[in-house]
Amino acid sequence: VQLQASGGGLVQPGGSLRLSCTASGLIFSINTLSWYRQAPGKQRELVATITSGSGTNYADSAKGRFAISRDNAKNTVYLQMNSLKPEDTAVYYCYADLVIRIGNPSANFWGQGTLVTVSS
């Protein structure tokens, strides 16, 4: 199983970006999908989570500005980021809790990260 993240880049404060992360390989079902981020010199932190039933949860810093969604047919999770601030600058990682084969327990996988830089 591989998670391929994309969509990062340089954006001015107040701008928007949409991150995508697609899971590929042997996958039976995907449970929770999440986005984490890690800023320079800081610990990795949870940004947003979406369950298999499309329930969502956000870090306080992301509420009202970011929106997580998923396309189950494409095994893809998105993070729409609006009103970006310099403090949103970080490497963003996708995370999936999924089942490879029916009857197997779920396992966790990380994407490779995509850099988001918010600067004028």
Give residue 11's pLDDT: 98
**Mean of per-residue pLDDT scores for the chain:** 96
Q: Which two tokens stand for residue 27?
A: 């996958």
Residue pair 107/91 in contact by the 8 Å Cβ criterion? no
**pLDDT tens string 32-48:** 999 999 999 999 999 99
Residue 57: strand pairing partners: 49
pLDDT (0 to 100) of residue 85: 98
**Tens digit of each residue's pLDDT (9 = 90 or more) over 93-111:** 999 999 998 888 889 999 9
Residue 89: its pLDDT value, please? 98
